[in-house]
């Protein structure tokens, strides 16, 4: 798995703040006379409570209100409260850096975003400790993409990702660990042993992306001894958790072992997926690999339909899925067509 340019920012969940927001909502709902509030009315009450806390001088409430708006998708209001509290709340500064870098609810300003990211990444303030690794990952991302920095640099990207990964620490940036697995899989920085190591670390720490990547590495003997049993375990586990790239490779795994009914059944379901943004949001998997997973499934489903393997033969439907494969990923389609022409499928 190479690193595509659509690499997303590190997602920090802020569980303490979200629990506080949930508690406020629940207490409001449980209050006499408020039990029948609609969801919109309840959110309005929560908003009012947080605004009152700000008026009373509770600084933490600025971030909580910004996060409340962010979670509700009201980005223009979220950025106002993150902006107002960025000087005294690192969490606000972090969220502001992400919004400015990616242009979420505002015009993109990568230079300012990177200056905020640097401040957190190099901070020794204990209030920023839980954000440092995430900021280091995002700084590496900026260097890799070449946005907001003096120049694009794989060397700087690697340096900050290694810092963020913190030797595989499960409390560090698991996204950095997974990204290093992809970084060392690319031609420009190829080191398959390192790729396998980092995907293993990330997978052990819960990375869905790396779990699928490990399955592919085991399946083809890339960076590790070929092990189809381990490949199946990784691919099936990742697929069950929603990794679409793993699903596509699991289809291929079934097909190669002539388990055509399983291949056709899974491929037909994955081929129907289309909302890439939603899948990426739900799984934190990369858009480009979600597309590859759907493309793989479309092609193998087309083969099953074309040959009547595991499903009723239907050449007309097969053509439709060949086209759908090309739509999602032309490179995957071309590669599989070449294999078919040379009798390798």
Q: The domain that contains 50 carries what CATH number? A: 1.25.40
Q: Quick one: tokens of 169?
A: 């620490």
109 and 29 fall within a common domain: yes
78 and 9 fall within a common domain: yes
Which pLDDT score, from 0 to 100, does residue 31 have?
A: 79
Could you give the number of structural domains in the chain? 3
What Å distances lie between residue 101 and 39, 94, 111, 142, 185, CA to CA? 31, 11, 8, 9, 26
* Structural domain ending residue among the three candidates 219, 241, 263: 241
Can you spell out the DSSP letters for 283-310? H---HHHHHHHHHHHHHHHHHHHHHTSS
* Structural domain ending residue among the three candidates 117, 142, 167: 142
Residue 65 placed within a domain: yes
111 and 53 fall within a common domain: yes
85 and 206 fall within a common domain: no
236 and 269 fall within a common domain: no
Q: How far apart are CA 284 and CA 8, in angstroms?
A: 8
Residue 299 placed within a domain: yes
Residue 246 placed within a domain: no
Query: Which residues constitute the domain of residue 222?
Result: 153-241
For 68-118, the pLDDT digits (tens) are 999 999 999 999 999 999 999 999 999 999 999 999 999 999 999 999 999
Which pLDDT score, from 0 to 100, does residue 2 have?
A: 72
Residue 148 placed within a domain: no
What percentage of the chain exceeds 90 in pLDDT? Answer: 88
In a 10 Å sphere around its CB, with 0-12 CB exposed, 13-18 middle and 19+ buried, how is residue 294 labelled?
buried
Residue 12 placed within a domain: yes
Stretch 28-41: mean pLDDT, rounded? 79
Q: Quick one: tokens of 203?
A: 């997978």
pTM above 0.85, yes or no: yes
HSE-CB for 324 with a 13 A CA cutoff: 24
176 and 132 fall within a common domain: no
Which among 244, 254, 175 has a CA at the least distance from the CA of 219?
254
Q: How far apart are CA 33 and CA 28, in angstroms?
A: 10
117 and 22 fall within a common domain: yes
Confidence of residue 37 (pLDDT cuts 50, 70, 90): confident
| Helix, strand or coil, per DSSP, at residue 322 | helix
212 and 138 fall within a common domain: no
* Structural domain ending residue among the three candidates 109, 142, 175: 142
What percentage of the chain exceeds 70 in pLDDT? Answer: 99
Residue 30 placed within a domain: yes
174 and 261 fall within a common domain: no
41 and 132 fall within a common domain: yes
132 and 50 fall within a common domain: yes
320 and 194 fall within a common domain: no
Residue 147 placed within a domain: no
């Amino acid at each position: 798995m190479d690193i595509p340019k659509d690499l997303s920012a590190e997602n920090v969940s802020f569980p303490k703040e979200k629990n506080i927001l949930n508690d406020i909502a629940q207490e409001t709902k449980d209050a006499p006379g408020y039990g029948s509030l609609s969801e919109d009315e309840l959110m309005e009450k929560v908003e009012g409570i947080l605004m009152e806390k700000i008026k009373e001088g509770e600084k933490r409430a600025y971030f909580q209100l910004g996060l409340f708006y962010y979670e509700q998708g009201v980005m223009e209001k979220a950025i106002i409260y993150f902006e107002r509290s960025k000087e005294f709340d690192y969490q606000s500064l972090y969220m502001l850096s992400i919004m400015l870098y990616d242009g979420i609810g505002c015009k993109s300003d990568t230079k300012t975003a990177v200056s905020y990211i640097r401040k957190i990444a190099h901070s020794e303030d204990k209030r920023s400790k839980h954000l440092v690794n995430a900021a280091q990952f995002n700084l590496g991302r900026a260097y890799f993409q070449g946005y907001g920095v003096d120049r694009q640099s794989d060397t700087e990207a690697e340096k900050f990702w290694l810092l963020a990964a913190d030797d595989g620490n499960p409390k560090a940036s698991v996204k950095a660990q997974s990204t290093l697995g992809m970084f060392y899989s690319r031609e420009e920085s190829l080191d398959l042993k390192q790729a396998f190591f980092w995907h293993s670390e990330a997978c052990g720490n819960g990375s869905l992306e790396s779990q699928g990547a490990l399955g592919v590495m085991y399946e083809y003997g890339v960076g590790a001894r070929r092990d189809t049993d381990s490949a199946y375990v990784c691919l099936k586990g990742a697929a069950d958790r929603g990794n679409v790239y793993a699903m596509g490779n699991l289809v291929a795994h079934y097909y190669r072992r002539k388990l055509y009914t399983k291949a056709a059944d899974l491929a037909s379901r994955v081929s129907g997926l289309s909302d890439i943004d939603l899948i990426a949001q739900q799984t934190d998997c990369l858009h480009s690999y979600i597309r590859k997973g759907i493309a793989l499934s479309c092609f193998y489903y087309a083969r099953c339909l074309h040959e009547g393997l595991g499903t009723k033969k239907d050449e007309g439907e097969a053509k439709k899925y060949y086209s759908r494969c090309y739509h999602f990923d032309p490179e995957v389609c071309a590669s599989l067509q070449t294999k078919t022409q040379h009798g390798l499928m």
